[in-house]
Structure 1
């Protein structure tokens, strides 16, 4: 839970409910564009004389209008920004759609406005042109990635320049973000995959997959089954109901609903020596399924550092990893299977419903 010293202004009640899960703050609800009236803004202006005002609106056209209106009437509002991609679910854009981990990221690196006597432009249009943020075929994508990395959201060129000069962003911050943009673009148009038993899928899995989907064109999630192993996992577990491969795939799909670049498939591992052995035969099986599904992948995501070398040796795939220490969700499917009730908070709704049914 993040403690926020000040008033956090949001658009709606659903936003407040979502934010209350991760932030301890005095939350002021506007109730949309109609609620962002002069009376409320004047009230916030009076409060701003003695306390900080944080503003977090939806990353859509209405949110921009509300943000601009409030900023035009209240000085030194601390603007917080959400990624449009992270806030979109089933074509609906809203803060309430974001995962807890994505909401936390918004508050990790809050950038306050410059002091009044320190408002001199550090960035110029030349900085944007020189770094292909304007007048380039992929300028829009570059600005989107840069905005997410700097926690200032996507902007057109004019607004981006205004944000860069109004907020405490240094040239060093800018250059580091540009390095990230180049690395991101290097893999953005490539396909990636993730392998796992997902017995059961948990919030750590879901967070890992969603994060990975930002770094590729298409992400293929392979749910692996092996009859003898899966039966043994269930018999030795505290799970109430056995999960077939179909059940696991359905749960994974439900938790990733709305992510249009994520696709879920099965790989049957019957007859292959159990992990960590059998890599040669397993790789042959994987390639068989890739041909069957007519899928081409360029690299694999994993948080198992011991597997990185084997992916290269047997599948000729580069392995990329992040959150190796599982800092965001320090959980494993083994822990959940062994003590389901103890770790219920790490279990997504789809699995909870299945186990209760």
Structure 2
């Protein structure tokens, strides 16, 4: 598998793991202190080849994703869940701990953000499905964002994330029906 876009990752261990999984070029942010020099490299890569942001599913990874996507509009996004990014033997979470198959799957299922898109999903839908403002909302949000592979968000960010990734109301409702059925079976 070869990817034409440049993949933005946090560090050299992520680059090494990605290169084991696929043929791709990366730009390393060297942690969450993303400087202007790195942002300039990412802007250049975006103009020439496109960029995929692929960071760890933790706070620093989300922070880097936010910084880069705000500074460089039009980036695509790939996500891992915390479970997929967790090492078996230690407590680390990151791309470098994911399996090669999981990395390939995440990079074949990328999203491009679109702030102009407005889906039919409403805040009331989120309330009706127990995704905000109630017991178990966090766990349901986590399950929804894992299934849709859009990265975990809190209740305030969920509607915006669903809209940005152009999740249709039908897809949303079908996914929630599956999640609710799984909860009943547990």
Same fold (TM over 0.5): yes
Q: Report 1:322-333 matches (<5 A).
A: none
What is the aligned partner in structure 2 of residue 94 from structure 1?
94
- Partner Cα separation in structure 1 for residue 16 and residue 44 of structure 2: 25
What is the aligned partner in structure 2 of residue 103 from structure 1?
103
* Cα deviation digits, residues 115-151 of structure 1 (max 9, x gap): x6x4335332112111110122111111111111101
Q: Report 1:154-303 matches (<5 A).
A: 154-188=152-186
* Cα deviation digits, residues 78-118 of structure 1 (max 9, x gap): 1211101221222211111111222222123222223x6x4
Question: What displacement does 1:176 show?
Answer: 2.3
Q: Report 1:6-155 matches (<5 A).
A: 6-34=5-33, 36-89=34-87, 90-114=90-114, 118-155=116-153
- Partner Cα separation in structure 2 for residue 46 and residue 108 of structure 1: 23
Kindly indicate whether the alpha-carbon contact (under 8 Å) linking 1:84 and 1:153 is maintained by their aligned counterparts in 2.
no
- Partner Cα separation in structure 2 for residue 66 and residue 57 of structure 1: 7
Kindly indicate whether the alpha-carbon contact (under 8 Å) linking 1:111 and 1:169 is maintained by their aligned counterparts in 2.
no
* Cα deviation digits, residues 307-353 of structure 1 (max 9, x gap): xxxxxxxxxxxxxxxxxxxxxxxxxxxxxxxxxxxxxxxxxxxxxxx
Structure 1: unaligned runs, 5 residues or longer: 189-357
SS at match of 1:186: helix
Kindly indicate whether the alpha-carbon contact (under 8 Å) linking 1:146 and 1:178 is maintained by their aligned counterparts in 2.
yes
Question: What displacement does 1:12 show?
Answer: 1.0
- Partner Cα separation in structure 2 for residue 28 and residue 52 of structure 1: 12
Structure 2: unaligned runs, 5 residues or longer: none
- Partner Cα separation in structure 1 for residue 41 and residue 107 of structure 2: 24
Greater length-normalized contact order (CA 8 Å, ≥ 6 residues apart): 2
Deviates more, 1:99-108 or 1:76-85: 99-108
SS at match of 2:24: strand
- Partner Cα separation in structure 2 for residue 142 and residue 23 of structure 1: 32
SS at match of 2:60: helix
Question: What displacement does 1:182 show?
Answer: 1.7
- Partner Cα separation in structure 2 for residue 38 and residue 158 of structure 1: 29
